[in-house]
Amino acid sequence: MAKGTEYRPLRSVTLSLGMRISWKKFLFIGIRLLVLVPLLTWIMYYRRGKHFALRDRLRKADVIIVLAGTRGNIDFLHGKIRTAVALYQKGWAPCILFVGRFSRMVTETPTLIPLEELQRAAAQGRIQEKDIPAAVQTWDICLGAEYMRNKALQMGVPPEATLVEKESLHTRENAEFVLTILQEHQMKHVILITTPFHQLRTYLTFAKVFQPHGICMSNYYADSGEWHPMTWFLSKENRKLVKSEIERIRTYREKGDIL
């Protein structure tokens, strides 16, 4: 053995080399997990977002239908109006039908639905008695179909290219009252617009009402910076909205109100 050369048993060298290889493998696996786990999580949430935010390939239609409703955020309502106007201006349909009696209030000066009107609606079976206490405090008729129409007029849509349905109190009535208007105007193909998280339930509800009458629908969720299929899950409020939609779809399917 040369002078100054340290003797190391072969077994010791092999173990040391093996440990270095194991640590490299461990590090490589760790890095892959750090990348793959967030990616797979994002893909899962993105697919769930796309499940709710329906958007079909557009074709020319008879009318664009856009629903009122803020769910407590005026940006949702304005996003629906902007999307409907943009599609109209691109020539996808010759008119826009604005739908709904109210939206949930978002200002300090709402015009709330009178208690007497809500009580009559409950007596007629249009809403449930248990909904009245919340409705009388939050249902703002200043943010209904007429509000949306006025906004569209300000954006350049001519009055003759607008229709209004301003009596319906919930999604099922939206569909039923709209059906009457479509039949009056002999319209057979519509583009349906609402907020992304509400698009699935709206489609299922309208399909239940429309299918027996041969009316075709194209879904087109509204563009909104507040809710997007790729990023919705980053917001606690948006996660609550999706949870609420899941529960409502389950409840309304049991009642027979949706497909």
Task: Report pLDDT digits (tens) over 53-77.
Answer: 999 999 999 999 999 999 999 999 9
Amino acid of residue 258:
I
Q: Is residue 117 part of a domain?
A: no
Of 116, 174, 124, 180, the residue nearest 144 (C-alpha)? 174
Instruction: Write down the pLDDT at residue 259.
Output: 87
The rounded distance, in Å, linking the Cα atoms of 159 and 168 is 21
77, 96, 120, 162, 220 from 52: Cα distances, Å: 17, 23, 33, 27, 11
Task: Report pLDDT digits (tens) over 24-51.
Answer: 665 656 666 565 666 677 788 888 889 9
State the maximum Cα–Cα separation within the chain, in Å, rounded to a whole number. 106
Q: Which domain holds residue 247?
A: 53-101+144-255
Task: Report pLDDT digits (tens) over 116-171.
Answer: 999 999 999 999 999 999 999 999 999 999 999 999 999 999 999 999 999 999 99
Q: Is residue 186 part of a domain?
A: yes
Per-residue H/E/C for 115-137: HHHHHHHHHCCCCCHHHHHHHHH
Amino acid of residue 31:
I
Q: Is residue 150 part of a domain?
A: yes
Domains identified in the chain, total number: 1
Q: Is residue 211 part of a domain?
A: yes
Place 2 in a pLDDT band, splitting at 50, 70 and 90. very low
Place 18 in a pLDDT band, splitting at 50, 70 and 90. low
The single-letter DSSP state of residue 112 is B
Q: Is residue 235 part of a domain?
A: yes
The model's pTM is 0.84
Q: Is residue 181 part of a domain?
A: yes
Mean pLDDT of the chain: 89
CATH of the domain at 153: 3.40.50.620
Task: Report pLDDT digits (tens) over 197-213.
Answer: 999 999 999 999 999 99
Least reliable range by pLDDT among 78-92, 165-179, 220-234: 220-234
Instruction: Write down the pLDDT at residue 40.
Output: 77
Q: Is the pLDDT of residue 6 over 60?
A: no
Query: Which tokens go with 106?
Result: 């978002």
95, 178, 215 from 210: Cα distances, Å: 19, 10, 5
Instruction: Write down the pLDDT at residue 1.
Output: 47
Phi, psi of 171 (to 5 degrees): -60, -40
Q: Is residue 40 part of a domain?
A: no
Instruction: Write down the pLDDT at residue 227.
Output: 86
Q: Is residue 74 part of a domain?
A: yes
